[in-house]
Amino acid sequence: MRKNIQWVLLPLLTIMVACTINQAPETTSPIKQNLFSDNLKIPSGASLINSEKSLLTVHVNKAGLLSFIGHQHIVASRDLNGWVDEVKNQGYFSFDIAKMTVDEPALLKSNLLPDELNASEKEATKQNMMKMLDAKNFPDVRVLVTSFDQTKSMIHAKIIVKDQMIERDLLVKVTRSANNKITNLTGETRLKLLDFAVEPFSALAGLLSVNNEISIEWNLTFK
């Protein structure tokens, strides 16, 4: 058996805000919503994401009795687009699945992970991911922040992957400039693939699989 197992993973996305983040309880079960046909208009005065300086990473772990023969992966997006409007307490961001990278050497090194796959194996992992997420019909992941309680440092976010949407309340912390404008949002959260009707990849009758829970980190810089 090849040592390399092509992991299927969820690029996601989450949340428009944070510096240090704690996961709040889930508020709803997944519901079907196709929100990929319309682009939200950018409100006047909103702070825009600086795509060139922003990064989202998805950490994908292995599971099963034979997990020792598999690999951990880091999938990254440097194509984040969106905005946050503090006046209306709303925000939005998205990223293109096809533009995500798999196992960038620098990201693996910073997370103390070995760079064991060659370029073709990484590309195969990416293609496997795109098929499972149906990127042809649902090319991006979207996050809509419907409320932002600055006194409690909490946002309510709708996270859309494929034709599935779930909602979360997330605790956040915002970094601001001297004039009180948002300059940077960083943080992390955990999500489950099955919440988005994405079946974790498995092999050998389930003895080797992708962990259902993934970890997402983001560093959003604003213009």
Which CATH number is 98's domain given? 2.40.128.110
Kindly report, residue by residue over 109-144, the tens digit of the pLDDT.
Answer: 999 999 999 999 999 889 988 888 888 888 999 999
Question: What are the distances in angstroms from CA 34 to CA 57, 142, 164?
Answer: 24, 11, 7
pLDDT attached to residue 155 = 77
In terms of Cα–Cα distance, which of 5, 36, 9 is closest to 138?
36
Residue 75 lies in a domain: yes
Residue 180 lies in a domain: yes
Q: How far apart are the first and last CA of the chain?
A: 49
Residue 33 lies in a domain: yes
For the segment 187-204, the average pLDDT, to the nearest whole number, is 83
- Domain count of the chain? 1
Q: Which domain holds residue 64?
A: 23-221
Residue 49 lies in a domain: yes
Q: Is the pLDDT of residue 96 over 90?
A: yes
Residue 74 lies in a domain: yes
Output the average pLDDT for the chain: 78
Residue 8 lies in a domain: no
What band does 87 get if pLDDT is binned at 50, 70 and 90?
confident
Residue 11 lies in a domain: no
Spatial separation of the C-alpha atoms in residues 155 and 65, rounded to whole Å: 38
Count of H helices and E strands in the chain?
Answer: 2, 17
DSSP string, 141-201: EEEEEEEEETTTTEEEEEEEETTEEEEEEEE---EE-TTS-EEEEEEEEEEEGGGGT-PPP
